């Protein structure tokens, strides 16, 4: 019987994992979902005590500080949750010889490229969020040899706050919205990412290291918004604007496409097209 801990259980990826396990239970596996109330991963002594009382075969860390702009002025907390807490979990899971799965981001890259990023391409985060997530990756790999890093991008789901839910809300409230049209990426349905994580757990082939997962295809935020508009049959007018027309505290990568070859060939993970995935949610 495999025991699997999921931290950040109330976030959009944690909730997506709950949904997937409900739909397709994994034989001989017990999942334990925690959030800050049950397990404060920023408290090292709390983590040690929790792991002393509970034994796991897998630890999936879905907890993160994801408020990209706020991280610029809230660096200490972002560092604590995205890096230090990852170190605590990596150490605690390694002590139990448990496999550690850490979720990371396209923000570890500068976004100045023009071809999909491979796992071993040079990193160069632009802001605090990307830097702290990259530190988390390094801690995970350093403190637990049985680690998978899963980088993803443009995550959305039926849960939590995300671009799709924001757009649907604005479509009801406004007659026109401005959306950035010069950042390129691939929207990722968190339910698909949850599927990929569960495939790794089920396969159990011990091919540790860094992997990329996002949905297939590419678009700008403006094209993403247009597709949401089409599928939700909204009459709103969407105006494309450049990044310079919407200044934010944190600089965004202009190019966020990830190469998924490694995860597909290693685990046989299927990667749906972003439009099909969006349709399945809406």
Cβ-based burial of 206 (10 A; exposed 0-12, middle 13-18, buried ≥19): exposed
Q: Which CATH class is domain 2-162+187-217+256-272?
A: alpha beta
pTM of the model: 0.96
Q: What is the percent of the chain where pLDDT is above 70? A: 100
Determine contact, residues 37/50, Cβ cutoff 8 Å. Answer: no
Higher pLDDT residue, 246 or 238?
238
- Average pLDDT for 130-136: 98
pLDDT on residue 186: 97
Per the residue annotation, which of 107, 129, 148, 211 is the catalytic one?
Answer: 129
- Average pLDDT for 241-246: 93
Give the 3-state secondary structure of residue 224. Answer: helix
Residue 125, H or E segment: none
* Cα atoms in the Cβ-side hemisphere of radius 13 Å centred on 259: 14
For 8-46, the pLDDT digits (tens) are 999 999 999 999 999 988 889 999 999 999 999 999 999
129 part of the active site: yes
Closest listed residue to residue 193, CA positions, set 30, 5, 56, 11: 11
pLDDT on residue 224: 98
What average pLDDT does the structure give for the chain? 96
Buried b (16+ CB within 10 A) or exposed e, 47-73: beebbeeeebbbbbbbbbbbebebbbe
For 67-118, the pLDDT digits (tens) are 999 999 999 999 999 999 999 999 999 999 999 999 999 999 999 999 999 9
Cα dihedral 208, 209, 210, 212, rounded to 10, equals -20
Q: What are phi and psi of 4, to 5 degrees?
A: -125, 120
Closest listed residue to residue 109, CA positions, set 97, 101, 119: 119
For 155-212, the pLDDT digits (tens) are 999 999 999 999 999 999 999 999 999 999 999 999 999 999 999 999 989 999 999 9
């Amino acid at each position: 019987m495999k025991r699997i801990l999921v931290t950040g259980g109330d976030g959009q990826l944690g909730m997506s994992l709950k949904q997937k396990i409900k739909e397709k239970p994994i034989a001989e596996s017990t999942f334990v979902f925690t959030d800050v109330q049950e397990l404060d991963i920023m408290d090292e002594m709390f983590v040690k005590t929790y792991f002393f009382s509970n034994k796991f075969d897998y630890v999936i860390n879905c907890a993160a500080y994801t408020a990209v702009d706020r991280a610029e002025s809230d660096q200490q907390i972002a560092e604590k949750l995205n890096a230090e807490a990852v170190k605590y979990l990596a150490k605690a899971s390694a002590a139990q010889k448990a496999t550690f799965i850490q979720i990371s981001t396209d923000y570890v890259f500068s976004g100045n490229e023009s071809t999909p990023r491979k796992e071993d391409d040079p990193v160069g985060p632009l802001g605090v969020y990307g830097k702290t997530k990259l530190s988390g990756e390094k801690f995970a790999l350093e403190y637990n040899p049985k680690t998978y890093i899963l980088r993803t991008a443009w995550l959305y789901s039926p849960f939590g706050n995300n671009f799709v839910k924001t757009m649907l809300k604005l479509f009801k409230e406004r007659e026109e919205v401005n959306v950035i049209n010069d950042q390129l990426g691939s929207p990722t349905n968190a339910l698909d990412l949850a599927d990929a994580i569960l495939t790794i757990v089920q396969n159990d082939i011990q091919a540790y290291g860094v992997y990329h997962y996002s949905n297939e295809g590419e678009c700008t935020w403006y094209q993403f918004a247009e597709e949401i508009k089409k599928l939700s049959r909204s009459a709103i007018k969407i105006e494309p604007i450049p990044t310079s027309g919407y200044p934010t505290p944190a600089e965004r990568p202009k190019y966020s496409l990830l190469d998924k070859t490694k995860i597909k060939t290693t685990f046989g993970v299927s990667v749906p097209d972003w439009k099909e995935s969006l349709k399945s949610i809406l």
